Amino acid sequence: MHLWLQVLVNGILQGGILGISALAFSLQWGVMNLINLAHGTFQVLAAYLTVLILQHLGLDPLLAVPLVFIIFFLGGYLVQFFLINRVISTNLFMTLLLTYGMDFVLANLMILFFTADYKSINTPYANSSWQLFGLQFPIVRSVALLFLIVLSVLLWLFLEYSRPGRAIRATSMGTEPARLMGLKIPHVYALTFALSSGLAATGGVFFGLSNAFSPASGGPLTVGAFVVTILGGVGTSWGPLVGGLILGVLDAVGSVIFGPTYVNVITFGLLLVILVLRPNGVLGRAG
């Protein structure tokens, strides 16, 4: 019983890191119909940036999260406004091609500047845990889950009650009605991508704290965000939280029962079931 409780705890806490990543991915997909293939690479880049901040500024990674968020927010706004906005209105294939190109360029630039060797963010608490009732709770993953809950609440409040948030929600319902209401769609898209880039970078910090990473680590992160988004529901504030917890627990339980080799098989098997039985995800509205 104790073993399975620990497995359940590990899965729930892993869901925090998965959920933060999907929170950003779901926002882009739900508002702009953009499937960003460079999403995971953005997170890896944020992990490398955190290493540089720790080495050169001596700033603790958790304290550096706001700085990393702001840097990626500004960078994401510029990338969307001057690059992605030029093809976003064409078709999905063009955006896939563009983001794949961005992924390729960023990954190779990271190899150039940081080499292809695996790195990690070394802190005293990176591999530490706190105990409760004999169960181990990794500190980084515990904080990541707390961040996911807080970010989900803040995102919901932002989208529901702020003027920019209502503009984003209006645009997600249709660009033409939003344009007739006087909204500047390129600006709304840029704001959405900036916000999601900052959220992705936040997830990247926690990923780097709990895993060794290299420039090639972005692909699995993108796939994970895609699966969690489908599970929870595209474009929902709470979907990434639910989807992240489901996938985290599934991975943890599956790795114990079947071994780590079969985790991806189980994950995509669940994805197929969700697509057949509830295509809009657990929290998505029925079509």
Cα–Cα distance list, 123 to 89, 127, 137, 151 (Å): 44, 8, 17, 24
Residue 258's domain comprises 2-277
Whole-prediction pTM value? 0.88
Give the CATH number of the domain where residue 83 resides.
1.10.3470
CB 241 within 8 A of CB 148: yes
* Domain-embedded: residue 282: no
What was the pLDDT predicted at 283? 60
Residue type for position 222:
T
Report which DSSP code applies to 119: B
More confident residue, 132 or 111: 111
- Cα–Cα distance, 280 to 268 (Å, whole number): 16
Instruction: Report the domain count for the chain.
Output: 1
Task: Reply yes or no on whether the pLDDT at 282 is more than 70.
Answer: no
Q: Among 14-18, 234-238, 240-244, 279-283, where is mean pLDDT lowest? A: 279-283
Task: Reply yes or no on whether the pLDDT at 58 is more than 80.
Answer: yes
* Domain-embedded: residue 137: yes
* Domain-embedded: residue 53: yes
Give tens-digit pLDDT for 256-271: 777 777 677 777 777 7
* Domain-embedded: residue 32: yes
Task: Reply yes or no on whether the pLDDT at 2 is more than 80.
Answer: no
* Domain-embedded: residue 199: yes
CB 60 within 8 A of CB 123: yes
* Domain-embedded: residue 121: yes
Give tens-digit pLDDT for 206-258: 999 988 899 998 888 888 888 888 887 776 777 788 888 888 888 787 777 77
* Contacts for 281 with CB less than 8 Å, ≥ 6 apart: 229, 230, 231, 232, 233, 234, 236, 239, 243, 274
